[in-house]
Amino acid sequence: MPASDLLAATADLVAIPSESHAEGPIVDHVEARLRALPHLTVERVGLNLVARTQLGRSTRVLLAGHTDTVPANGNAEARIDGDVLWGLGSADMKGGLAVMLTLAETVPDPAVDVTYVFYAGEEVAAEHNGLAHLVRHRPDLLAADVAILGEPTGGEVEAGCQGTLRIEVTLRGQRAHTARPWMGRNAIHRLGELLRLVEGFEARRPVIQGCEYREALQAVVVSGGVAGNVVPDLTSVTLNRRFAPDRTEAEAADEVRALLAPVLEDGDDLTVVDSAPAAAPGLDNPILRSLIDRHQLAVTAKLCWTDVARFAALGVPACNLGPGDATLAHTADERVDRASLDRAHQVLHAVLTTPPN
Amino acid sequence: MPASDLLAATADLVAIPSESHAEGPIVDHVEARLRALPHLTVERVGLNLVARTQLGRSTRVLLAGHTDTVPANGNAEARIDGDVLWGLGSADMKGGLAVMLTLAETVPDPAVDVTYVFYAGEEVAAEHNGLAHLVRHRPDLLAADVAILGEPTGGEVEAGCQGTLRIEVTLRGQRAHTARPWMGRNAIHRLGELLRLVEGFEARRPVIQGCEYREALQAVVVSGGVAGNVVPDLTSVTLNRRFAPDRTEAEAADEVRALLAPVLEDGDDLTVVDSAPAAAPGLDNPILRSLIDRHQLAVTAKLCWTDVARFAALGVPACNLGPGDATLAHTADERVDRASLDRAHQVLHAVLTTPPN
């Protein structure tokens, strides 16, 4: 089924460095290849590319992938050894980009309309995320019936994603000399009870559309203190809650507020500093459903937040499905093998060429 | 009894600015006055002055005071209003210095040998402390049977002082993504149990030579965290223990180690980062005893660490006794009144002019 050597095609992309904030050359490369295809309408928005068929099909499938990588870690150079390609970005996610480009170049007359999205800035702070940029400025380009992101999933389906929110809690006390602590109140000591409540958080494991999610509440940063001889009057702790798609951001925050209410007092503060919604698995979508059934794909719940939530927020069911092993991403041993690339290509080729029911 | 107007004498000293690290002018002023007195042998060691009688008496009494002040707080100018002197350093401790200088100038033939010590750098980090400098380089100048520091005590006796030590405890965990915290171990969560133990510390209140001390253990600084989406593998907390004179530094540290042992594991760390010994009240010293009895002075245990511990470490019993209210020290409303100065002068004059038993 592969129209080309996907391992070599991926190596060509790994050979173009594209660390976040320096995606220019790879975007230019991809843009030139897309513009050479007469069946695609290409738009460039900053460092993001959207290429679409306009065939008037009843259904539109969107395939998306990010062009940037994390910084190199002694693995900048692409190296093919047998059927394995080693190198930065091979799994996360130039393998997925190679599959997308191959489909764009070899399927000029798909059974569904197709939108290919190549976006920058996924590996860095959300403010730099190219998909977020498109959502804000050109949501029309993202219209689709279903979206599939090519992040490494070993060719299986990772459905939806959990939401995430960060809450900063500030506890107050009263300063005093540490030789006379009874004249004040130690804010850091108050942390003890708060952390006990955090540890006692009931991490739910709801099953939604057959996917088991698994929530979490973790203290991620703590700070406090005035001087070595002062009873501290202030301490703060940042908590990160991961929540399943059966909770809104507001509900998830309220549950943390309720959990901590027993230790919070007048003068304390609890602020949501950062929040992103969960995405439902979207497995009731007929295209995702038939894709899973036809290829007998494994489906797991995505516990981390991913860009699929941006599509879910637009009303577009989305999942992750791409070649490569996610646990190798961001490691010096990052690699992808030929079978994984071919398998992802086979599945996505079928999505594009099978008329929807 | 006062040989001069002590309020005016104190005002003269307040009029010479002497913030820590800028004591030069006041040291020059005091040195000139001391060198004008033929009954005193004066030595200058850096910014520290030691002036001694050499009368061959059986007993030597040392009077000590620091020449520096904290930074001004809108109160740099001396202002006399009736019998009250307002201004930076009036209580802490130019009132005490004025009493010492007056005694030096008016008691040329004391019943005991006298050592007057004027030292710099008391209000800043220990490394700048002039008394510590003398202890290290000229301990011979500090030889005495008893030492009285003129810190503000309202003219009463503050006996000995508690020791202080700081311990930094590092707790380790294992990093993981916060969406999969069960893959790691949260070091900050471990703090909860440690802080519970710290709060449960039994703060002893031992009575020593009639003085009740009161111990304390307080968390003073806490920090930890890697990133908003990472289960932290490291956190540290600094504890400050204040301990009574019936404990050595080593014993005090060992008791904290024993308290925390239930939560410490391989890979954790507990380090004493800073330590200063306690000083026994020294109330069995005959000069201190008769001074207290003769003037019916109140005696309280000193809970903070003070320079009396430096004398105790040299084997010289020491206490604080000086004019002014310690709670006004370091405030914008710092002041001293005439009665307090006269009272301190009266007590110390008696010490110098009464033959010891």
- Distance, C-alpha B221 to centroid of its chain: 22
Q: pLDDT 10s per residue in chain A (357 long)?
A: 444 799 999 999 999 999 999 999 999 999 999 999 999 999 999 999 999 999 999 999 999 999 999 999 899 999 999 999 999 999 999 999 999 999 999 999 999 999 999 999 999 888 899 999 999 999 999 999 999 999 999 999 999 999 999 999 999 999 998 999 999 999 999 999 999 999 999 999 999 999 999 999 999 999 999 888 899 999 999 999 999 999 999 999 999 999 999 999 999 999 999 899 999 999 999 999 999 999 999 999 999 899 999 999 999 999 999 999 988 888 889 999 999 999 999 999 999 999 987
CA distance A188 to chain B (A): 6
| Residue of A122, A145, A151, A255 marked catalytic | A122
Tell me B91's DSSP state.
I
Residue B152 has pLDDT above 80, yes or no: yes
- Each residue's pLDDT tens digit, B72-124: 989 999 999 999 999 999 999 999 999 999 999 999 999 999 999 999 999 88
Of A164, A189, A218, the CB nearest to B231: A218
Does residue B136 sit in helix, strand or coil? Answer: helix
Chain B residue whose CA is closest to A238:
B228
**Beta carbons of B219 and A164 less than 8 Å apart:** no
Measured between beta carbons, the chain A residues lying within 8 angstroms of B224 are 221-223
Cα separation of A3 and A353, whole Å? 14
**Beta carbons of B178 and A220 less than 8 Å apart:** yes
Active site residues of B: 68, 122
ipTM: 0.85
Cα separation of A170 and A154, whole Å? 42
Measured between beta carbons, the chain A residues lying within 8 angstroms of B303 are 179-180
Chain B residue whose CA is closest to A198:
B189
Q: Work out the average pLDDT over B2-31.
A: 93
- Please count the helices (runs of H) and the strands (runs of E) in chain A: 9, 19
Cα separation of B272 and B255, whole Å? 12
**Phi then psi dihedrals of residue B127, to 5 deg:** -65, -20
Residue B4 has pLDDT above 80, yes or no: no
Sequence-separated (6 or more) residues with CB below 8 Å from residue B320: B148, B149, B150, B151, B153, B157, B158, B302, B306, B308
CA distance B164 to chain A (A): 9
Neighbours of A225 (CB within 10 A): 18
Cα separation of A260 and A217, whole Å? 12
Tell me A180's DSSP state.
S
How many Cβ pairs closer than 8 A exist between chain A and B?
142
CA distance B234 to chain A (A): 10
Cα separation of B120 and A20, whole Å? 56
- Each residue's pLDDT tens digit, B49-68: 999 999 999 999 999 999 99
**A240 CB near a chain B CB, below 8 Å?**
yes
**Beta carbons of A179 and B222 less than 8 Å apart:** no
**Phi then psi dihedrals of residue A70, to 5 deg:** -70, 170
**A216 CB near a chain B CB, below 8 Å?**
yes
Chain A residue whose CA is closest to B243:
A179
Q: Work out the average pLDDT over B197-216.
A: 95
For residue B297, what are the CA distances in angstroms to A40, A344, B289, B355?
A: 97, 90, 10, 19
Is A122 a known active-site residue? yes
CA distance B224 to chain A (A): 5
What is the bridge-based pairing of β-strands A48-52 and A41-45?
Answer: antiparallel
What's the confidence (pLDDT) of residue B2? 46
What's the confidence (pLDDT) of residue A1? 42
CA distance B217 to chain A (A): 8
Question: In A183-222, which positions are buried (b, 16+ CB within 10 angstroms) versus exposed (e)?
Answer: ebbbbbbbbbbbbebbeebeeeeeebeebebbbbbbbbbb
Please say whether the beta carbons of B87 and B331 come within 8 A: no
Chain B interface test: which of A185, A201, A229, A259 (most B C-beta within 10 Å): A229
Gyration radius of chain A over CA positions? 24
Please say whether the beta carbons of A176 and A353 come within 8 A: no
- Distance, C-alpha A158 to centroid of its chain: 11
Chain B interface test: which of A169, A220, A233 (most B C-beta within 10 Å): A220
**A10 CB near a chain B CB, below 8 Å?**
no
CA distance A230 to chain B (A): 6
- SS3 helix, strand, coil % of chain B, rounded to 5? 35, 25, 40
pTM assigned to the model: 0.85
Mean pLDDT taken over chain B: 95
Q: List the 149-168 stretch of B: residues with Cβ below 8 A of A.
A: 162, 164, 166
Strand intervals (E) in chain B: 41-45, 48-52, 60-66, 79-81, 84-86, 113-119, 146-149, 157-159, 163-172, 176-177, 207-208, 211-212, 216-225, 230-231, 234-243, 269-276, 299-301, 318-320, 335-337
**Beta carbons of A178 and B232 less than 8 Å apart:** no
What's the confidence (pLDDT) of residue B147? 97
Does residue B130 sit in helix, strand or coil? Answer: helix
B190 burial (CB, 10 Å; 0-12 / 13-18 / 19+) is: buried
Question: What is the distance in angstroms between the CA of the first residue and the CA of the last residue of chain B?
Answer: 23
Chain A residue whose CA is closest to B242:
A179
What's the confidence (pLDDT) of residue A329? 85
**B320 CB near a chain A CB, below 8 Å?**
no
Cα separation of B334 and B89, whole Å? 7
Q: List the 96-135 stretch of B: residues with Cβ below 8 A of A.
A: none
Among A68, A27, A19, A77, which residue's Cα sits nearest to residue A85? A77
The sheet carrying A299-301 orders its strands as A41-45, A48-52, A113-119, A60-66, A146-149, A318-320, A157-159, A299-301
**Beta carbons of A227 and B220 less than 8 Å apart:** yes
Q: Work out the average pLDDT over B291-312.
A: 93
Cα separation of B50 and B30, whole Å? 11
Among A177, A170, A130, which residue's Cα sits nearest to residue A30? A130
What's the confidence (pLDDT) of residue B1? 42
Question: In B58-83, which positions are buried (b, 16+ CB within 10 angstroms) versus exposed (e)?
Answer: ebbbbbbbbbbbbeeeebeebebeee
